[in-house]
Amino acid sequence: MSAINTIWAALGRGGTSARTCARNRFRRLANAITCASTSHAYPISSTQWLMRKAAIILLMCLLMSAHVANAGIFDEWNYRMRITFTNDSRIGVLTNFPALIVLGTNITGFDYRDFARFNYDLRFADQTESSELCYEIEKWDTNGSSYIWVKVNSLEPGTNIYAYWGKWGSRIPPPPAYTTNGATWAGGYSGVWHLGDTLTPGKYPDSSAGKYDANNVGASSVTGKIGGALDFKTPNCVAIPVGAFSTISDQITISLWQYGDPAVQPRQGYIFNGVYNPPAKELSSHLPWSNGNVYWDAFGGNRINKAASASEYRGQWNHWVFLRNGGSQMMYLNGHSSMVD
């Protein structure tokens, strides 16, 4: 039987969070998914298969203090906060980019009690305060930090966007459709799996418009780098439906946060594995293998690898990006090129 075996597994303990980006050559894959085993466990949380952007973008956000709203399309809202991005100037201008915003009581003037019912009145607008921005809430925690992905139309160093809340009264607006229909991830994302809290046991929803929900096979929930994560031990995995790859041709970017257990790493296993039958590694990475090397295999026979230091795969959170773009194959570690073919 033809199958893609997709494994989000770990060779160690402690949450491994993942956000993944992708475009690729998966038209050959068939309709079944099985899970293979690995030798121990990572965790993975937040995964996105991005089909557009190649390189990892690390953004820094400066959240300004909240105050009474008085301008723009949300001038009926009672609270307004300016958010300024201070990312690396070498990145250039990003368009329609889902940026992570973290809200919490550490922000001057911010109080969860100022929201209307739940978080239904949360809104975002662009720098001119004339265009509403799509967003998705990954995690809402009134006792801690809340993680929101906001799709910014044009983002460069110094860009401002605005958050609004506090729409009280009898006409509390319902949550916008874009918070759940995948609009935040439109424009190239084949799938987005946060791997945090889930309302359906054993299922991890796909936040993209495809709605290819993933199945959890035995992995346990832990705290991740962003929100929740999953901790994997053999033979745990998360199986992603093959339909998520149906539009992928010959380009892919996979990004994830990973934390390996120092007590067991390095050892044999996969951080992810997609196999076409007859056996060929379509998408696969050992992070690391027992020899301490990190391997990235794409589309049957295209491999690059690098010798990694212990801190690059265990004892701390690291952000890895695996890219295949035509004839080029690359790995990025924490925003820096780690290996280029």
Do 323 and 207 fall within a single domain?
yes
Q: What is the CA radius of gyration of the chain?
A: 20
Domain that holds residue 115: 61-179
Q: Which tens digit of pLDDT belongs to each residue from 107-164?
A: 988 999 999 878 999 999 999 999 999 999 999 999 999 999 999 999 999 999 999 9
Do 229 and 299 fall within a single domain?
yes
Q: Percent of the chain beyond pLDDT 70? A: 77
Angstrom distance (rounded) from CA 4 to CA 279: 10
Which pairs count as long-range contacts for 246-250, CB under 8 Å and 24+ apart, including other chains? 246/26, 246/27, 247/51, 247/190, 248/22, 248/23, 248/24, 248/25, 248/26, 248/27, 248/51, 248/190, 249/23, 249/24, 249/25, 249/27, 250/23, 250/24, 250/25, 250/299, 250/324, 250/326
At 248 the pLDDT is 81
Do 32 and 160 fall within a single domain?
no
At 36 the pLDDT is 26
The overall average pLDDT reported for the chain is: 79
Do 217 and 300 fall within a single domain?
yes
At 259 the pLDDT is 95
Picking from 179, 213, 239, the residue at the C-terminal end of a domain is 179
Picking from 179, 214, 245, the residue at the C-terminal end of a domain is 179
Better pLDDT: 341 or 75 = 75
pLDDT band at 44, cuts 50/70/90?
very low
Do 42 and 191 fall within a single domain?
yes
Mean pLDDT, residues 266-285 taken together: 83
Do 136 and 198 fall within a single domain?
no
Do 154 and 233 fall within a single domain?
no
pLDDT band at 322, cuts 50/70/90?
very high
Range scoring the smallest mean pLDDT among 37-46, 179-188, 295-304:
37-46
C-alpha triplet 297, 303, 304: angle, nearest 5°: 110
At 186 the pLDDT is 92
Mean pLDDT, residues 34-49 taken together: 32
Range scoring the smallest mean pLDDT among 141-155, 184-198, 285-299:
184-198
- Rounded to two decimals, the pTM is 0.81
Nearest to 241 by CA among 285, 201, 274: 274
Range scoring the smallest mean pLDDT among 57-61, 239-243, 291-295:
57-61
Mean pLDDT, residues 44-69 taken together: 40
Do 71 and 7 fall within a single domain?
no
Mean pLDDT, residues 253-257 taken together: 92
Amino acid identity, position 38: T
Amino acid identity, position 284: S
Mean pLDDT, residues 1-15 taken together: 31
The residue behind tokens 């033809």 is 2
- Residue 289 pLDDT more than 70? yes
Of the spans 39-53, 61-75, 195-209, which averages the highest pLDDT?
A: 195-209
Do 43 and 67 fall within a single domain?
no
Better pLDDT: 340 or 60 = 340
Beta strands 3-5; 32-34: pairing state:
parallel
Picking from 161, 179, 197, the residue at the C-terminal end of a domain is 179
Do 163 and 297 fall within a single domain?
no
Return the SS3 of 112. Answer: helix
Do 161 and 303 fall within a single domain?
no
Q: How many domains does the chain have?
A: 2
At 60 the pLDDT is 41
Do 307 and 331 fall within a single domain?
yes
Nearest to 43 by CA among 261, 281, 274: 261
Mean pLDDT, residues 192-207 taken together: 86
Range scoring the smallest mean pLDDT among 231-235, 237-241, 251-255, 265-269:
231-235
